[in-house]
Structure 1
């Protein structure tokens, strides 16, 4: 429970240590959503459980530290920018990552007044996120109105998000749709899993190229759940290459070929298509595969 709550708070933009979470539990500030029971440190659940947290205003809210680093900007105007995030960079601060995130770099360049604050201190400007080892395009809002309009477009499935992924294995069909609900794992709060009690999640995929025991696919998010493409591809039996959380070991996959290693999953947010929230113009933005992903494909060829 303690770790699950800590992770959920991090996703909500509140970075608390485990000891801080335990303190909130001891103070009686965490209850069942209906207020019927106080929750204590160390309690565990076998199913997902909705809780209510009474967090003192700004008790643990701190402004992330601005950090100077390179920023690969694909598009920018007075309202928003689209950034090509590198592998190994978290989108926003969370437990264990305080200074090495995209938000830290954005704050150095734009300051607190140059980014939206809709999602709190830790997620300034961030309209949607990418996993730390997923590369590619992220939309950043510079003001709250822009952020709210983009968030509404995202919720209404009006922002097209297209990924490239290298799968272990080769699906028989040229394309397919995975419609399988996702929820946080009861065994490991850092993992997500397909479960009838989860939130609906839909991923469309099509094969771009087949290799021996591998396939390059284009995947499109029709919903945007945490780890969605990674979980869905593993669920249908074709995990993403290099995915240490949901993938297979080389021995388990039966692969006897030694491929160049990646420091994470071969998943790249390659293209975004959406209507600009103020000008009404269609933005169709794309970025090439990062070098390590591209070199992996050259090796397979």
Structure 2
């Protein structure tokens, strides 16, 4: 499908990749840059580079390439299974594992591993690429998540998440010393208008609430527990940055010079919900991973 846009005065001087992210708000900047690189975008009938500065009166034309359907393969990958029955499976996800396949991660994901392990199959409500996935945690966040094997279980779990009946507690280490023992962050989250691949607190964002309490204070850091009331993308990471206490090691929202380099020190510690079929109350806990303990030991030695 071919689209066209005539650059107005307010678009003059802007890079073409940045301008197109505002014109196409549902497309990431990296994807738009790939369109430009592949020649799907022209300015005044000429192919340009992503850093081209637009001029008032320019005619931008672009073709949205058809998305290729991913072939999701079952893969024999290690899984730490906390609980499993015919309807659901609870996984303790390691840091570094992506939850489901995407254009940048077609293998090695949790879904690839689950397709191999669950011979009876996974729920299909979220599509093939997100088979069984009811909720997600980021690639470099470790910890617990529940996966649905059947569509009936998936629907019931979705209702519980929507009605805020699922309890999710995380632990994190953040920059700075939080002076108060408890806190609540109620701030809407949406796409960052300046960096479309990031999320941010924005006026027209989706309602987001995070509760936190201090576990221990260190010289320049604080170990905290967070409880999610809502489940927005990067919610804890964005909210902690918003109150000027970004999570240690966070490559997107933390300081440019990281205290650790393996990713955000964030762990999904506990998970509570009602079994979607039997209605039994289920509660699970996951120990902090070794790298998290390593940061705590490092902080103890510094104080």
Q: CA deviation at 1:262?
A: 4.3
Identify which of structures 1 and 2 has the higher relative contact order when contacts are C-alpha pairs closer than 8 Å and 6+ apart.
1
Unaligned 5+ segments in structure 2 are 1-19, 43-59
Residue 286 (structure 1) aligns with: 285
How do residues 68-217 of structure 1 correspond to structure 2 at under 5 angstroms? Answer: 68-111=76-119, 113-217=120-224
Q: CA deviation at 1:281?
A: 1.1
Does 1:270 pair with 2:272? no
Q: CA deviation at 1:65?
A: 1.5
Q: CA deviation at 1:23?
A: 10
Superposition TM-score, scaled by structure 2 size = 0.78
Q: Would the alpha carbon gap of residues 278 and 288 (structure 1) be closer, same or farther in structure 2, given more than 3 Å must change?
A: same
Q: CA deviation at 1:187?
A: 2.1
Please say if residues 64 and 122 of structure 1, whose CA atoms lie closer than 8 Å, have aligned partners that are also in contact.
Answer: yes
Please say if residues 262 and 292 of structure 1, whose CA atoms lie closer than 8 Å, have aligned partners that are also in contact.
Answer: no
Cα distance in 1, alignment partners of residues 39 and 88 from structure 2: 38
Cα distance in 2, alignment partners of residues 175 and 295 from structure 1: 25
Unaligned 5+ segments in structure 1 are 11-15, 27-38, 43-52, 252-258
Please say if residues 77 and 108 of structure 2, whose CA atoms lie closer than 8 Å, have aligned partners that are also in contact.
Answer: no
Q: CA deviation at 1:6?
A: 4.1
User: Which digits, 9 at most, give the CA deviation of each residue in 1:237-259, with x for residues without a partner?
Assistant: 100000010001349xxxxxxx6
Cα distance in 1, alignment partners of residues 254 and 219 from structure 2: 18
Cα distance in 2, alignment partners of residues 81 and 25 from structure 1: 44
Q: CA deviation at 1:123?
A: 0.3
Cα distance in 2, alignment partners of residues 178 and 40 from structure 1: 42
Partner residue of 1:5 out of 20, 23, 26: 26
Tell me the SS of whatever aligns to 2:291. helix
Superposition TM-score, scaled by structure 1 size = 0.79
Cα distance in 2, alignment partners of residues 223 and 177 from structure 1: 12
Query: Greater Rg, structure 1 or structure 2?
Result: 2
Q: CA deviation at 1:61?
A: 3.1
Residue 248 (structure 1) aligns with: 255
Please say if residues 132 and 148 of structure 2, whose CA atoms lie closer than 8 Å, have aligned partners that are also in contact.
Answer: yes
Q: Would the alpha carbon gap of residues 299 and 127 (structure 1) be closer, same or farther in structure 2, given more than 3 Å must change?
A: same
Q: Would the alpha carbon gap of residues 40 and 76 (structure 1) be closer, same or farther in structure 2, given more than 3 Å must change?
A: farther
Cα distance in 2, alignment partners of residues 294 and 124 from structure 1: 32
When the two chains are superposed, the root-mean-square deviation of aligned CA atoms in Å is 2.9
Q: Would the alpha carbon gap of residues 176 and 284 (structure 1) be closer, same or farther in structure 2, given more than 3 Å must change?
A: same
Tell me the SS of whatever aligns to 1:121. coil
